[in-house]
Amino acid sequence: MFAALQWSKPKVSLRAIAEEAGLAIGSIRHYFTTAEGIVRFALETLVARIGARLEDRLASLLPQLDAGSLSGDAAKEATVDLLAELLPLDEVRRQESVV
């Protein structure tokens, strides 16, 4: 779905979105009446996915932070791991980064 929504394209069409998703255009129109609606949905989904990954990373760090056992190099490594969630380091994040 994200490939059809790249900002470099001047206009996003429901037809392009349906083709990318492998669906009939009628299936897309059933849920979205405009291309803007699906773009909004895609961006909200993108924010939710990235947010969930960041929350998962933070949740795993909280016990260490509460115990005071995260300092020095471990703290730097944890920070790098957390921020790496925002970088296109795998196929999922690469697709997300072109939206």
pLDDT in tens, 21-39: 899 999 988 988 887 888 8
**Average pLDDT, rounded, for the chain:** 84
In the predicted model, what is the mean pLDDT of residues 50-55?
93
User: Which of the given ranges, 12-16, 46-50, 65-69, has the highest pLDDT on average?
Assistant: 46-50
CA-angle at 90, arms to 80 and 76, nearest 5°: 5
CA–CA distances in Å: residue 26 to residues 40, 51, 73, 91, 95: 19, 31, 54, 29, 25
**pTM for this predicted structure:** 0.68
Residue 91 scores a pLDDT above 80: yes
Rg (CA), the chain: 18
Which among 45, 54, 42, 48 has a CA at the least distance from the CA of 12?
42
DSSP summary character for residue 12: -
